[in-house]
Amino acid sequence: MKTLKIILVLITPFILFSSCKKKDNAVIGNDTTIEIKKYPSGKIHDVLFYTKNHLDSVYEYFENPPIIREITKRLSDSTQYIIQFDSLGNYLGKGYTLIKKDKNMKNGWKNMENGWWEKMYKGEKARVEYFIIGDTNIVNQVISLDKNNHVDVDNSCFYTMDLPDTLDYGREYMFTVKVTSPIGDKKDYRSRLEISDAINSGYSNIGVEKSTYKIKNTGLGSWEVRHTFLKKGKDTIKGGMFVGTIWAEDINEDSVKIHTFRKVMLIRKPVFIR
C-alpha cells in the first residue's frame, strides 16, 4: 500500500503537465500555472503550482534519484502542510509548518505555537511534538511506537496531565502529571516538575522561577498538583519537566556501555477559566 501511495504522488504532476500548454518556461492551463525549476544538471528540482498567480503547492525532487523529496501544500500565506520522503521513496513524516521570519517552523494546526508531527523516529513510527521558541524549533515530546503499536519507553519522552481544558474561577483543582521516559537504573533516575505563573512566553526563565503551584512527588516521574485559578478568560499553564537517568548495558564479559538520558520538556497547556 505504501508503494501505491508514492506512485500516485509521483504521477500527479505529470498528469497535469500533459493537459497544459508550455509558455515562457512554464506550463499554463485555464487558471493554473506550473513553474519548473531545475538543477544545474537539467534535472527537475522543484515543480510549483499556482492558481491565479497564488502559490498552491510545491513538489521538490531529489537530483539523484529524480524522485519526490517533499510535497508542500500552501494553506495560507503563513501556514503549510508538508509530506516528506527519503531518497528510496520511503515515507518519513508529515505535519504543519508556520512560516516565521522566512523560516519553516514545524508546528501544529489548531495551536500555531506547538503541535504534533507524524514521523519515522529511529526506525519506528512516532508522534513528535515541536515547540517554537523565538526563532528556534525544538523537539519537546516524542511518543515512539514499536511494530505492535505499543509505546517504546526507551525511545519516548512525554508527559500526561489530567486537568480539563475548561476550569471554574476560584476553585482549587487537584490533578496529576506523569512522565514516560527511559528509566534505566532506578536509583539514578531523577525528575523534577516546575509550574509557575511567572514563566515568560519564551521560557527563558525556566528553572529559575519557583513553582506557584503546590506540587507533591508521588512516585517515579509522578506528581500531584494543586492550584486555584484566579484569572478569568483564556490562560496558559506554563512549566517544565526535568528528567535524567544513567544505566549500564553489558556488551561482553569485558566491557559495558554507559547510557545517559537528559531532557527538559516544556509544558504549555491552554485553558479557559469561566
Quote the mean pLDDT of the chain.
82
Q: Is the pLDDT of residue 28 over 80?
A: no
**What is the SS3 assignment for 199?**
coil
**What is the SS3 assignment for 231?**
coil
What is the structure's pLDDT at 265? 92
What is the structure's pLDDT at 8? 36
What is the structure's pLDDT at 108? 52
- Which H or E run includes 14? helix 2-18
Q: Which residue has the cell 537539467?
A: 42
The CA distances from residue 129 to 30, 92, 146, in Å, are: 40, 15, 18
Q: Is the pLDDT of residue 6 over 60?
A: no
Taking the alpha carbons at both ends of the chain, their separation in whole angstroms is 48
What is the structure's pLDDT at 104? 64
Least confident of 14-18, 32-36, 142-146: 14-18
User: In terms of pLDDT, which residue wins out, 107 or 55?
Assistant: 55
Least confident of 47-56, 97-106, 245-254, 264-273: 97-106
Phi-psi region of 101 (alpha: psi -120 to 50; beta: other; left: phi over 0): left
Q: How far apart are CA 150 and CA 158, in angstroms?
A: 14
Q: How far apart are CA 262 and CA 220, in angstroms?
A: 15
What is the structure's pLDDT at 103? 64
Cβ count within 10 A of residue 190: 11
β-bridge partners, 165: none
What is the structure's pLDDT at 71? 94
Least confident of 14-23, 146-155, 199-208: 14-23
Q: Which residue has the cell 523560516?
A: 103
Q: Is the pLDDT of residue 60 over 90?
A: yes
User: In terms of pLDDT, which residue wins out, 248 or 70?
Assistant: 70
Kindly state the average pLDDT of the residues 178-200.
89
Q: How far apart are CA 274 and CA 127, in angstroms?
A: 32
Q: How far apart are CA 90 and CA 10, in angstroms?
A: 13
* Model pLDDT for residues 65-96, shown as the tens digit of each residue: 999 999 999 888 778 888 999 998 988 888 88
The CA distances from residue 152 to 30, 126, 149, 186, in Å, are: 51, 10, 9, 18
